[in-house]
Chains A and B, each alone.
Chain A
């Protein structure tokens, strides 16, 4: 089986298994917030992974995630509530409108040759501010009154609200990851990495840089908007301040940096870790110190593993998997945590910790395997020391 075939089979398997979760939770009479926990994780996975398609792959740093997300939220808000469209009909429009907005921005900023990366970042930030003002000003969008989503009818086959949220966020997160993977493992992905390394040279070697950057930005905005469209339901009462703030762009950056921006999976791993942590800290009543802890952790981890946690976990996947399963079963069996989510949080933290500990020894072996053979011998002999 080819590499891509295996990966796609993995995707299919994950899809089938995860789809069983709501049924399983119900059958075992587990608390419903397990499902909420999972679909919120799906939300962040989708946001972080889609952001990374633009910023991680092409190197164009974007603060625009809040804008695409916000367009999605308001699109389903307006269409499904104010115009009473069926929700599932409004949802794709959310993604498409966000995608189109991304492309319009791209038309402007990517056409101006002289525009550097910093200007791009600031422009994307400005888009969210502009959209916030527009939404506040015009009553056909918001007009400062907000939109109540709570009584939006959902099709019955999706199940109750929680299950419906799970299914929808799951599909969007799944599609986002699939797109991230397919781009990563294609000519387009390589072209984007070349743009990240040296755009001018890439262009000269035949990479259609404008088209590829537009594609990355459009994909980013589309999936972010699509997830935003679903998320409007979870927000319940949609207001400008809740939607167009710095929270989403900031968190996707943290998640992606932590997980690793050089691989399509990195941001997903970062998203799960950071979301789990914030969720647990909140549930332990530590909302106030939440940011401090997350910030501190990020500093430590970024300094310790520059390539991001995901690549580190993958390099030591046997150790990581063993630690995770062991920790999870110990915690579960000994009934240490008060819920499965706590068990999961402890086990994840421990796994990350364990894979990080022998950093120094690892780095030395890395150098050895890369360096010329002579250097290896020299180093090995000095390692043995005198005698």
Chain B
């Protein structure tokens, strides 16, 4: 059963077609790996689905409504959350307040008082309890990335779009993050992960979609998808066409 089903999504930037008729389907409980070379449209797709960019054409059904017609806060209320590649915490708030804020709004409304205590749960889940009440500028990149995750989870999403959570981390932190992604998935959250480290995505995801120049060039089982000639070609260039 598909949770998100997008068809013919188009997004131009001036003359450039960042998304050129993308079809994307995410099944309930899946981890969909979204890969592709630089500039293939992965981040644009995330931005369109989360309402940050307005699509020029197409539709994306999620929970009974077309998210391409909704504003970001309505999309959050429908149960679709995202993280940012470069963490963007609220800088005048502590980690706890960041998480409390997204719990207060998010998918359903909660009161200020209940949010403060509920925030603890997500901070514990992401191992941020120790730094929860420090000023934000004392957190490391790794902690800030987990804070992105905690904040997104606190909106109680059904579908979570993770934009390059592993970028900029050292190998130990990458391992920790992978474990964290698995734990999030185990809680019943469907995931879309955008990632540069193809090896990691292949290992994590249950389905994979490959984008190139704003089009889907392959979709399916992770191991098989990466063997397809046009995927190899997109990643390595035409010279390897007959390799």
Q: Which residues of A contact B (CB under 8 A)?
A: 185-187, 190-191, 193-194, 196-198, 200-210, 262, 370-371
Contacts and interface: CB of A to CB of B under 8 A. Distances in A.
Contact of A197 (B82, B90, B111): B90
A201 B84 contact: yes
B76 interface: yes
A313 B239 CA distance: 70
Given A191-B105, A197-B90, A262-B92, A204 B112 contact: no
Contact of B72 (A193, A203, A371): A203
Q: Which 8 A-B residue pairs are closest in the complex by CB-CB distance?
A: A206-B105, A206-B76, A197-B90, A203-B72, A205-B102, A204-B72, A206-B106, A201-B88
A196 B92 contact: yes
Interface in B54-76: 71-73, 75-76
Interface in B171-193: none
A201 B105 contact: no
22 contacts: A187-B105, A190-B104, A191-B104, A193-B92, A194-B93, A197-B93, A198-B90, A200-B52, A201-B84, A203-B51, A203-B71, A204-B51, A204-B76, A204-B82, A205-B102, A205-B106, A206-B73, A206-B77, A206-B106, A207-B101, A207-B105, A370-B138
Contacts, number: 81
A357 B163 CA distance: 48
Interface in B62-121: 71-73, 75-77, 81-82, 84, 88-93, 97, 100-102, 104-107, 109, 111-112
Given A185-B112, A204-B52, A206-B107, A197 B102 contact: no
A119 B50 CA distance: 26
A201 B90 contact: yes
Contacts of A197: 89-93
Contacts of A185: 112
B contacts with A: majority SS: loop
B44 to A, nearest CB: 15
Contacts of B134: 370
B90 A193 contact: yes
Given A186-B112, A200-B52, A208 B73 contact: yes
B42 to A, nearest CB: 17
B167 to A, nearest CB: 18
A207 B73 contact: yes
A187 B73 CA distance: 15
B43 interface: no
A contacts with B: majority SS: helix
B88 to A, nearest CB: 5
A204 B51 CA distance: 8
A239 to B, nearest CB: 42
A205 B155 contact: yes
B215 interface: no
Contacts of B76: 204-206
A206 B71 contact: no
A59 to B, nearest CB: 10
Contacts of B105: 187, 191, 205-207
A201 B92 CA distance: 14
Contacts of B106: 205-206
A54 B93 CA distance: 19
Contacts of B152: 205
Contacts of B39: none
B205 to A, nearest CB: 23
A340 B112 CA distance: 43
Contacts of A207: 73, 101, 105
Contacts of A204: 50-52, 72-73, 75-76, 81-82
Contacts of A210: 71
A181 to B, nearest CB: 13
A190 B102 CA distance: 10
A194 B111 contact: no
Interface string B17-36: 00000000000000000000
B151 interface: yes
Nearest to B91: A197
A231 to B, nearest CB: 33
- A187, A190, A205, A208 — which one has the most chain B CB atoms within 10 A of its CB? A205
Contacts of A209: 73
A190 B135 CA distance: 17
B73 A194 contact: no
B90 A206 contact: no
B101 A190 contact: yes
Given A203-B51, A206-B77, 9 more contacts: A190-B104, A191-B101, A191-B105, A197-B93, A198-B89, A204-B50, A204-B52, A206-B155, A262-B92
Contact of A187 (B71, B72, B104, B151): B104
Nearest to B152: A205
Nearest to A195: B90
Nearest to B75: A204
- B75, B77, B101, B152 — which one has the most chain A CB atoms within 10 A of its CB? B101
Contacts of A205: 73, 76, 81, 101-102, 105-106, 151-152, 155
Contacts of B151: 205
Contacts of A193: 90, 92-93
A198 B81 CA distance: 16
A207 B75 CA distance: 11
A370 B155 CA distance: 28
Contacts of B107: 206
Nearest to A186: B112
A272 B77 CA distance: 43
Nearest to B50: A204
